[in-house]
């Protein structure tokens, strides 16, 4: 993979159809490419009922559920923007995990899920 491109797993308000999805394209229409639907290989706690209706994941690997989300290939500038938007590393922390790509970008189920190393934003506290 191009060293200036990054695989990022989105599970909350940055997913398509959600309020903050536009942030993936804030630095240009070609800064982010949807690759398909995915889920985490490990389990994580996902909190979905908050006062502001903002879901968040806790970096407590092994607890909770395998999280379903979307996988994007983003460029350096978009990664820097999403880091800023998520408050990395002072609020959300971006960490590498393994996720399985389950569909292609059109939603077609893959014959065999592809396991990939991806970035994931979550809270450690």
Whole-angstrom Cα distance, residue 12 to residue 46? 10
Catalytic residue among 18, 77, 86, 93: 86
- Does the annotation count 61 as an active-site position? no
Contact 110, 102 (CB under 8 A): yes
The catalytic residue positions are 86
């Amino acid at each position: 993979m191009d060293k200036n491109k990054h695989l990022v797993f989105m599970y909350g308000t940055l997913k398509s159809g959600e309020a903050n999805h536009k942030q993936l394209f804030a630095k240009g229409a070609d800064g982010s490419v949807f690759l398909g639907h995915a889920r985490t290989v490990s389990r994580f706690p996902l909190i979905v009922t908050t006062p502001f209706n903002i879901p968040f994941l806790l970096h407590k690997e092994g607890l909770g559920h395998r999280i379903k989300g979307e996988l994007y290939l983003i460029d350096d500038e978009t990664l820097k923007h999403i880091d800023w938007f998520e408050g990395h590393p002072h609020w959300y922390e971006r960490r590498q995990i393994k996720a399985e790509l389950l569909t292609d970008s059109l939603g077609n189920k893959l014959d065999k899920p592809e396991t990939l190393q991806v970035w994931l934003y979550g809270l450690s506290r």
